[in-house]
Amino acid sequence: MGSEYGARCRKCGKKFIVQDGGGFTFVQVRCDKCGHGRFIDFRDMGELHNRYIKGLSGSYSIATAQHDKHVQENYAGEPLTEEEYHKLIEGFAGRHSCGGHFRLDAPVRCIDCGSTDIEADEESRYGCCYD
């Protein structure tokens, strides 16, 4: 699944939580202008995700293996390559209200000043016990 970590902006010092990565049942896209994150459920993508699964040689993840196999054996649509899939996800995600585009590889940005110059904040890391 995706993870969450504390981050700190090197520019303005703002601390915030970054949610990173997709999961078994969703992907994350980020606005390339302001860094706003959005999660897209595979179910909302419908055909798109099925076509991607169809194009995979194995399953997408262990958790979805059964479902993936079913899709690969029964889905009659055209398979997608990873590259096509990513392009279509971004097309599906569309634009953020700020005018930016949602992208899979957009960088994490400071929620205050929009800088991409951020670092992981050790203090607010999960779990404790850093000495």
**Which residues bind to Zn ion, rule: CB under 5 A?**
9, 11-12, 14, 31, 33-34, 36, 96, 98, 100, 110, 112-113, 115
Taking the complex as a whole, the smallest distance from the CB of residue 99 to Zn ion amounts, in Å, to 7
User: What is the distance between the alpha carbons of residues 112 and 6, in angstroms, rounded to a whole number?
Assistant: 15
Q: Name the H helices within 4-46.
A: 42-45
Long-range (24+ apart) CB contacts under 8 A made by 18-26 are 18/108, 18/118, 20/108, 24/60, 24/61, 24/63, 24/64, 25/64
Taking the complex as a whole, the smallest distance from the CB of residue 37 to Zn ion amounts, in Å, to 10
Indicate the residue among 15 and 67 with the shorter CB distance to Zn ion: 15
Indicate the residue among 10 and 70 with the shorter CB distance to Zn ion: 10
Backbone angles phi, psi at 44, to 5 degrees: -70, -25
Indicate the residue among 82 and 119 with the shorter CB distance to Zn ion: 119
User: Which residue is it, tokens 């293996």?
Assistant: 65
Taking the complex as a whole, the smallest distance from the CB of residue 95 to Zn ion amounts, in Å, to 8
Indicate the residue among 19 and 81 with the shorter CB distance to Zn ion: 19
